[in-house]
Amino acid sequence: MANLLKTAVAGCSCPFLSSLGSCKVLPRKKDFLRTFHTHQALWCKAPVKPGIPYKQLTIGVPKEIFQNEKRVALSPAGVQALVKQGFNTVVESGAGEASKFSDDHYRAAGAQIQGVKEVLASDLVVKVRAPMLNPTLGVHEADLLKTSGTLISFIYPTQNPDLLNKLSKRKTTVLAMDQVPRVTIAQGYDALSSMANIAGAAALEQFKSLGAEPLEVALKESGEGQGGYAKEMSKEFIEAEMKLFAQQCKEVDILISTALIPGKKAPVLFSKEMIESMKEGSVVVDLAAEAGGNFETTKPGELYVHKGITHIGYTDLPSRMATQASTLYSNNITKLLKAISSDKDNFYFEVKDDFDFGTMGHVIRGTVVMKDGEVIFPAPTPKNIPQGAPVKQKTVAELEAEKAATVTPFRKTMTSASAYTAGLTGILGLGIAAPNLAFSQMVTTFGLAGIVGYHTVWGVTPALHSPLMSVTNAISGLTAVGGLVLMGGHLYPSTTSQGLAALAAFISSVNIAGGFLVTQRMLDMFKRPTDPPEYNYLYLLPAGTFVGGYLAALYSGYNIEQIVYLGSGLCCVGALAGLSTQGTARLGNALGMIGVAGGLAATLGGLKPCPELLAQMSGAMALGGTIGLTIAKRIQISDLPQLVAAFHSLVGLAAVLTCIAEYIVEYPHFATDAAANLTKTVAYLGTYIGGVTFSGSLVAYGKLQGILKSAPLLLPGRHVLNAGLLAASVGGIIPFMLDPSFTTGITCLGSVSALSAVMGVTLTAAIGGADMPVVITVLNSYSGWALCAEGFLLNNSLLTVVGALIGSSGAILSYIMCVAMNRSLANVILGGYGTTSTAGGKPMEISGTHTEINLDNAIDMIREANSIIITPGYGLCAAKAQYPIADLVKMLSEQGKKVRFGIHPVAGRMPGQLNVLLAEAGVPYDIVLEMDEINHDFPDTDLVLVIGANDTVNSAAQEDPNSIIAGMPVLEVWKSKQVIVMKRSLGVGYAAVDNPIFYKPNTAMLLGDAKKTCDALQAKIRESYQK
C-alpha cells in the first residue's frame, strides 16, 4: 500500500492518475481514498499539467542532404540553450561540419552524436530543408521519423502535397518555418527574413545611401497579404508594373529581384524580351531563383550569360555563409520553441482556430500546418486584424527639418541682430562703468584673448581633448602668480593674508608640475613605432633664451615684465594651438612649459623679493611641484578624469584664497582708491567662482573615484535650494559694497565662500556619472574665469590672457559635449534629462527577442569579416579591457583585415579619455576615428563590435522622436551587416532607455564581463591563427 501511495503522489500532476482506476487494488479503493485525503503531505490540489517534461523529450538535428546545402538547423549555442531548458539533444555526426561546427563543439554544448536513423527517430526533429529521399539509405527521410513525432523545418506546404501525405501517414505534427506569421511578436522566429537577409535582400536597403530612388507604379494597390506576407497583385497592377519594368530595363545596368508569393511559384516579373533589351554587360541577380525565379531567363542554381547579360541564379546563397546563416536559423528555432511552450517544466503548446491577430496564438496556428497527421493548412483568418497600415512615424531628423522650416528668414535675422545689439551694448556699458583706463585696457586684453582662445580651441582634434584638458589644467596653475604677488614676511608668512597667499602658491604649483607631466605621459602614448625620432630636448634652447634673457635684462636694469607677460601669453596660446594635431602636440606642451616658466620668472623679477622671502616662495613652489610630479608619475591613465577634477579643485581653492588675501591687503586703501568698488566686485566674483569650482570638483572627483555613488543625488526641492543659494550669494554683494567696515567685508567673503561651496556640492551631486565629461569641461572653464578674476584683481595681463584662454577652452569643450548629447548646458548642469528634440510623447515600444551567441560564434563572425569597426564605451574603461582589444586588433590587422575604432564624443568620463586609453594599450591613433569621421562607413562594414557602450549606439535617438535621447548623435552601428554587442546584460544605459539594436536581426548579444570576454576572444583568435 505504501508503494501505491508513493506512485500516486509522484503522478498527481500527470495523466498517470487518470488510469489509476484500472489497477488491481479495487477492493482497497475506499481505504486508499481515505488515506490520500486525510494525509496532508499527500494531498495534491494542483491541476494536472499538460504536456511532456522537457527531460523526457529528445530533439534530433540531422545532417542536411539537399545538394549544396551547408547549413545546419541548430548551432552549438542553440543546443546549449535547449539543453539548459531541459531537452535532450542528439546530432548526426558531421551535421555541422559545413557550417564549421564540429562534433566536439556539439558534445561540449551537451549533445550526443548519433547516426542518421537514430536522429530522425527523435521526438522532435529540426531541419533546414524539407524531408527528402536519402539517396544513401534509399529511404525517404519522412519514413524515418518517429510516429506521432514533431518536425520543425521549411516545408512550403502548397508546393509539397506529396510530402504532406507522407508526413500524415506518420501522424506527424509539423511546424513550417516558412509559415511563421509576419507579426511584431514573431520577429525573432521569422526565418524567411533572416535567411533572405543573408541571401542579400537586406543589401538592397543600403542602395538608398548611394542615391538609389524607389520607383512607384502609377496604379495604387496594397501589396500586403494575410500574415504580413506579400499577396498576388491584380491584373491591372501587373500590367502597369510590366510597363514600368520594360522602360527601366533599357536604362539600368543591374537588376536585383526578390519577389515571392507564399505557397506559389515565384512570379515572373521580367520577360525574355525585357532582359534582351538591356545593355550588353548588364547583370541580373535573381534572389527568388529557388522558387522558380522572377526572370524568365533565369536558370535556377546557375550563373550564365544570355546574349551578353550575366544571370546569377544561385539557389544556395544562404549556404555560402553557412556559419552565419546557421546561427541565425538556430536562433529562430530556439526562440520559437521557447515562445510556443512557455511552461518551465513541460513542453506543450495548444493549436486554436480562434485567435487574435498578432498574439502567440496567431503565431502557433499559422506555423503549425499539420497536427497529429491532420493537415490544418492554411490557418483561418485571425480576429482583430488591423484595418490599415499604421501611419509611419516621422523620424527625429524629419521633425527637426520641419521645425527649422517654421523659422522665417526675418525671425532668424532678427535673432542674430538682437544678439549683436546686446553684445555691443554691453561693451558700451563696460566703457561707461570703467573706473580708470587700466580697467578698459584689461577688458580689451580679455576680449581679444577670448577670441583667440575660441578660434584656437576649435582647431584641436577630438582625440587630443584629454591632453588639452591636462595642459590647460597645468597652465591654470598660474594662479600661483597671484599667491606670489601677495606673499610677504621673511622665511615664514607674518600675517593672515601672507599665509593665504603662500598656501595659494603652494597648491597652484601642484597643478603646474603635475599637469605638464601627465600631458607628456599621454602624448608619449600616441607615439607609433613607425614615427621618426624626436628631439624635444632641443626646446630647452628657446626656454633658456626666454627666461635667461629676461634675467639678464633684469640684471641690466631693464623693466620688461609686461613684454615677458606678452611672450608667456603667446606661448600659452601656442600650447593650445599645438594640440591641434598629433605632429605638433609635443611642441604645444613644451610651449606651455615655456609660457608658465616665463610668467613666473617675470613675476618674481617684478617683485624683487628679499632672499628670505624668495626662499619662502621657492620652498612653497618646490614642495607643491614635487607633490604634483609624484602624483602625476604614479597615476594610472584610466584614473585621469578624477585627477583632472582634483586639480581643478586646487585652482578653485587658490582663487578663493587669493581673492580673500587681496581684499585683506587692499582694504586700507579702499577709502582713497577710485577703483575700490571694482576691486571689491572682482574679489567677490572670484571668491564665488572659486568656491563653486573647488567643491564641485571635489564631488566630481568622489564620483569618478568611486568614493561617492555615481548615480545623481536628486535632493527634494533641489532647484528651489539652488535658487536660494544663488540668491543669497548674489544678495551678499549688497552689504559687501555698501558697508565699508572690514568686519562686514570679510564676513561677506566668508559667507559667499561657504554658500558657493555648498552650491557646488548640490549642483554636481545631482549630475550622474555619464554626464561627467560635461562637468569636467565646465569646471575647466570655471577655473579659467577664476584666473581672469585674479587678473582683474591684480591688474595682471598674463592672468587675464591665460584665464580667457582656459575659460573659452572649457566653454567650447562643454558646448561640444552638449551637442554630442543634443542637450543644453543648463539641462546637464541642473541634473536634467532628455534632449532638446524630445517630443514628449510615449516612447515607442520595442518588440521582438534578442539573439545570444557564444564565444565560438563570435570568433567565426570575426574571422569571416574583412572590415571591422570597434565602438567602445565607458564599459571598456571600467573593465580595463583595452589591452586584450589592442592585441586582438594587432592580430586581425596582421591577417589583412581592416580594423578601426569609432569613438563617440561623450564616451568615457572626460573628453578624449578613450583615445588616450587605446593609445596607452598601443593602438595606433590613425585607426581611431571620431563619430563624424566613421558614421558613413558603417553600411560598408562587415562586423561591428560594441564593447561596453549603450546610449551612444542607441538607434532610438534617430527612430523615436519621443525617446528621451531623441536627436542625440549616435554611432550608427545597426547599419552594418552584423553587430556583436558585448555587455554584462541587456540592461539600459545611463539614460535608462531600452536599446532597439539589441533586438534587430543583424545584432547578436555576447553577454558577460567585458574584460573576461575580451581576454577570451584574444586567446581564441590567437589559437585559431596559430593552427
Residue-wise pLDDT for 584-615, tens only, equals 889 999 999 999 999 999 999 998 999 999 99
Does residue 764 register a pLDDT over 80? yes
- Reported as a single tens digit per residue, the pLDDT across 148-190 is 999 999 998 988 999 999 999 999 999 999 999 988 788 888 8
* pLDDT tens sequence across 243-280: 888 989 998 999 888 887 766 788 888 999 999 999 99
Residue 524 makes CB contacts below 8 A (sequence gap 6+) with none
CA distances from residue 244 to 106, 235, 259, 267 in whole angstroms, order as listed: 51, 14, 16, 16
Contacts of 409 (CB under 8 A, 6+ apart): none
Cell reading at 414: 532678427
Q: Which residues contact 356 (CB under 8 A, 6 or more apart)?
A: 362, 382, 383, 384
Q: What is the pLDDT of residues 434-461, one digit of tens each?
A: 888 888 888 888 888 888 888 888 878 8
Quick check: 294 and 266 in contact, CB under 8 A? yes
Q: What percent of the chain has pLDDT over 90?
A: 39
Question: Is 80 exceeded by the pLDDT of residue 743?
Answer: yes
As a whole number, the mean pLDDT across the chain is: 84
Whether the CB-CB separation of 755 and 703 falls below 8 Å is answered with no
Q: Lowest mean pLDDT of 82-86, 87-91, 810-814, 844-848, name the range.
A: 844-848
CA atoms within 13 A on the CB side of 674: 7
Quote the CA–CA distance of 249 and 294 in Å, as a whole number: 14
Of 149-163, 231-245, 349-363, minimum mean pLDDT range:
231-245
Task: Please give the pLDDT value at position 717.
Answer: 83
Consecutive H or E run containing 309:
strand 309-312
* Residue found under cell 496532508: 40
- 20 vs 464, residue with greater confidence: 464
**DSSP H or E segment with residue 892:** helix 882-894
**pLDDT of 479 above 90:** no
pLDDT reading at 583 higher than 80: yes
Identity of the highest mean pLDDT range in 90-104, 396-410, 434-448, 870-884: 90-104
Whole-number pLDDT of residue 74: 97
Asked whether the predicted pLDDT for residue 2 surpasses 50, the reply is no
CATH 3.40.50.1220 fits 855-1026, yes or no: yes
To the nearest 10 degrees (0 to 180), the angle between helices 772-794 and 640-666 is 20
Cell 578601426 identifies what position?
900
Q: How many CA atoms lie within 13 A of 930 on its CB side?
A: 16
- 526: burial class by Cβ within 10 Å (0-12, 13-18, 19+)? buried
Question: How many Cβ atoms sit within 10 Å of the Cβ of residue 763?
Answer: 22
For residue 348, indicate whether it is catalytic.
Answer: no
The predicted structure's pLDDT at residue 882: 86
**Cell 492518475 appears where?**
17
Selection from 63, 124, 50 nearest residue 95 by Cα: 63
Asked which of 96-105, 763-772, 776-785, 804-813 is least confident by mean pLDDT, the reply is 763-772
Distance CA 232, CA 266 (A): 10
Q: What per-residue confidence (pLDDT) applies to 9?
A: 34
CB 1004 within 8 Å of CB 861: yes
Q: What is the DSSP letter of 795?
A: T
pLDDT band at 876 (very low <50, low <70, confident <90, very high): confident
Pairing mode, if any, of strands 979-983 and 943-947?
parallel
Instruction: Give the confidence band of 935 by pLDDT, cuts at 50, 70, 90.
Output: very high
Distances in Å between the Cα of 116 and the Cα atoms of 90, 389, 993, 1004 are: 10, 46, 48, 31
pLDDT of residue 394: 52
CATH of 52-180+322-375, one of 3.40.50.300, 3.40.640.10, 3.40.50.720, 3.90.650.10: 3.40.50.720
Nearest residue to 81 via CA among 456, 316, 334, 374: 334
Residue 476 in this model has a pLDDT that exceeds 80: yes
Give me the mean pLDDT over the 900-910 stretch.
86
Q: Which entry of 314, 550, 688, 874 is annotated as an active-site residue?
A: 874
Q: Return the CA Rg of the chain.
A: 37
Mean pLDDT of 694-717: 84
79-to-73, 76, 87, 110, 180 alpha-carbon distances in Å: 10, 5, 9, 7, 22
The closest alpha carbon to 476, from 915, 911, 789, 909, belongs to 789
Lowest mean pLDDT among 238-242, 637-641, 738-742: 637-641
The answer to whether 149 and 172 are in contact (CB under 8 A) is yes
What is the CATH T-level fold of the domain 201-316, as seen in this structure?
Rossmann fold (3.40.50)
Distance CA 903, CA 525 (A): 17
Concerning whether 782 is annotated as a catalytic residue, the answer is no
Grade residue 221 by pLDDT with cuts at 50, 70 and 90. Answer: low
Sign of CA dihedral 704, 706, 707, 712: positive
**pLDDT at residue 233, rounded to an integer:** 64
Q: Is the pLDDT of residue 1007 over 90?
A: no
Residue 715 reports pLDDT greater than 50: yes
pLDDT at 33: 39
Q: Quick one: which H or E segment has residue 311? A: strand 309-312
| For the chain, percent of residues with pLDDT exceeding 70 | 87
Instruction: Tell me what the mean pLDDT of segment 989-1017 comes to.
Output: 82
Active-site annotation holds for 182: no
Spatial contact of 505 and 484, defined as CB atoms under 8 Å apart: yes
| Measured distance CA(630)–CA(857) in Å, rounded | 47
Please report the sign of the dihedral spanned by the C-alpha atoms of residue 752, residue 757, residue 758, residue 764.
positive
List beta partners, residue 1004.
980
Instruction: Report pLDDT for 377.
Output: 92
**How far is it, in rounded angstroms, from Cα 851 to Cα 981?**
10
Judged against a pLDDT cut of 70, whether residue 105 lies above it is answered with yes
Helix (H, G, I), strand (E, B) or coil at 906: coil
Amino acid at 615: A
Is the previous residue joined to 378 through a cis bond, with omega within 30 degrees of 0? yes
The active-site residue, picked from 229, 667, 701, 990, is 990
Sequence spans of domains, the chain: 2-42, 52-180+322-375, 201-316, 444-829, 855-1026
For the record, the C-alpha cell of 184 comes out as: 511584431
Strand segments (E) across 3-62:
52-53, 58-61
Among 329, 909, 925, 999, the active-site one is 909
- CATH fold match for the domains 201-316 and 855-1026: yes
Average pLDDT on 758-766 reads: 89
pLDDT at 670 over 90: no
